[in-house]
DNA sequence: TGCGATTAAATCGTGTGCGATTAAATTTCT
DNA sequence: AGAAATTTAATCGCACACGATTTAATCGCA
C-alpha cells in the first residue's frame, strides 16, 4: 500500500465512506425486497439463487456459489430450505458424486413470472432511467472487481 | 405496485440487476474489510458503530440505529460485545432511563488512528479518484433514499 | 393525580454469511 | 494399482439482520 492517505489525516465523515454508502444501499434494498418476496415465501438470497437457476437450470452448488459469491457453508442450508419448500431438487451428480446438482421444480419455475412484478416494483421506486441504472451497475461491478482482485495482496 | 412494467417481460439477466450489483459490492467490501478489521478485533458493523462514535461521542442506541439504519435488536448484542471488549460504555441516560447512552472508552478512541490505515487501504485498492468515489456515493445515496422513501407505499 | 398511550431497549426465533474443519469422492503421481 | 493430494459439500460456531413481542420508563390527557 502506498502512503497516498498519509497527507490528509482528517477524521473521515461517516457519510463519505463508500463502504457505508454500499452498506446502506444494500440494507435499503433488503428491506424493500423483504415484504414483497415474503409474499412469495422467499428471502432475498433465495430469490437470487432462483434468478440464477431461471437463467441456467441444473447448476452445481459450486457454480451457484461462484455466481453469487457464496460458499457451500451458506448455500447448503439455503438450498435445503428451497428444497423443503418444493422449489428445487438437490441430487448428487451421476458422473461426479462430490457435486450436488440443483435444479428447478415446477413450483420453483412458476415463481419466475410472479417475481417480475417485484423487480419491476423496485425499478419504479428507484425512478432511474435504464441507462443510469446500467451505468451505476457498471460502476459498482468495477468497484467489486477491484476489491475482489485486491484481496489477495 | 402499478402495472407500468407489464409491457416488457423479458426474463432479467442476473448481472443486470442493480440489487445484485449492490449485493456483490457489499459482500466484496465485507470480505475486504474482514481480515483488516480482524486485526483490530472488530467486525464490519462494529467498525461502523465506532466510526459513528468517533464523529459524535455519547449517542443513544436509537441515534446510532438511525445513523446506521439498524434497530435495537441488532445493535444491543453488538454493543454488548463492544462493551465486553472494553471499547465503549453503555449507561442508561440520567434524564430518561429508557435510553441507553453509548460512549467511547479510551481504548475505543485509540482505534481511530489505526482504522485510518484500513480505510486508506481500501481507497488504494479501489483505485478511483476522490471525485469519482464522491459521485458514486451520491448516486448510491440517491438510490438508498428513493428506496427507503418508497417503502411505505 | 392517575391511567392509558407512547417510546426505547431488550429479547426471541429464523435466516443468512463466513472462517475453520470434516467427510467423501476424484485425481495425480509414483 | 494404490497412497497422497485435491476437490466438493456439508458441518460447526459466531456474528449480524430483522419481524414480532416484551418490559420498563415517560408522556398525555381527562
Query: Helix (H, G, I), strand (E, B), or coil: what is residue B97?
Result: coil
Domains of chain A by residue range: 15-150
**In chain A, what residues touch B23 (CB-CB under 8 Å)?**
26, 29, 44, 48, 68
pLDDT given for residue B3 in this prediction: 39
Rounded CA separation A141/B8 (Å): 25
Write down the residue that cell numbers 481504548 correspond to: B107
**pLDDT, tens digit, 9 for 90 and up, residues A87-103:** 999 999 999 999 999 99
| CB proximity list for A31: less than 8 A, separation 6 or greater | B147, B148, B151
Look up residue B48 and give its three cell numbers. 461502523
Separation in Å: D26 C1' and B94 CA: 13
A8 in reach of chain B (CB within 8 A): no
Closest Cα in chain A, distance from residue B120 (Å): 6
For A15-150, CATH gives: 1.10.10.10
**pLDDT, tens digit, 9 for 90 and up, residues A24-79:** 999 999 999 999 999 999 999 999 999 999 999 999 999 999 999 999 999 999 99
Give how far the C-alpha of residue A122 lies from the chain's centroid of Cα atoms, to the nearest Å.
15
Q: What is the 8-class DSSP label of residue A19?
A: H
- Per-residue pLDDT at A2 exceeds 80: no
Average pLDDT over chain A reads 89
ipTM of the complex: 0.87
Rounded CA separation B132/B111 (Å): 28
The burial of B108, by beta-carbon neighbours within 10 Å (0-12 exposed, 13-18 middle, 19 or more buried), is given as: buried
Q: Do A5 and B116 touch (CB under 8 A)?
A: yes
Q: For residue B124, give the nearest of A1, A25, A36 by CB distance.
A: A1
pLDDT given for residue B76 in this prediction: 98
A124 in reach of chain B (CB within 8 A): yes
pLDDT given for residue A15 in this prediction: 65
Amino acid at each position: 500500500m502506498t502512503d497516498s492517505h498519509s497527507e490528509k489525516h482528517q477524521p473521515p465523515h461517516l457519510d463519505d465512506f463508500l463502504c457505508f454508502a454500499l452498506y446502506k444501499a444494500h440494507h435499503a434494498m433488503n428491506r424493500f425486497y423483504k415484504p414483497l418476496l415474503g409474499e412469495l415465501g422467499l428471502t432475498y438470497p433465495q430469490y437470487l439463487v432462483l434468478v440464477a437457476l431461471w437463467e441456467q437450470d441444473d447448476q452445481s452448488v459450486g457454480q451457484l456459489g461462484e455466481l453469487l459469491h457464496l460458499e457451500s457453508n451458506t448455500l447448503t442450508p439455503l438450498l435445503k430450505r428451497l428444497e423443503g419448500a418444493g422449489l428445487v431438487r438437490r441430487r448428487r451428480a451421476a458422473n461426479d458424486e462430490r457435486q450436488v446438482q440443483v435444479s428447478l421444480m415446477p413450483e420453483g419455475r412458476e415463481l419466475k413470472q410472479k417475481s417480475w412484478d417485484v423487480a419491476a416494483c423496485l425499478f419504479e421506486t428507484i425512478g432511474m432511467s435504464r441507462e443510469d441504472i446500467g451505468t451505476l451497475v457498471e460502476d459498482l461491478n468495477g468497484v467489486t472487481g477491484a476489491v475482489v482482485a485486491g484481496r489477495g495482496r
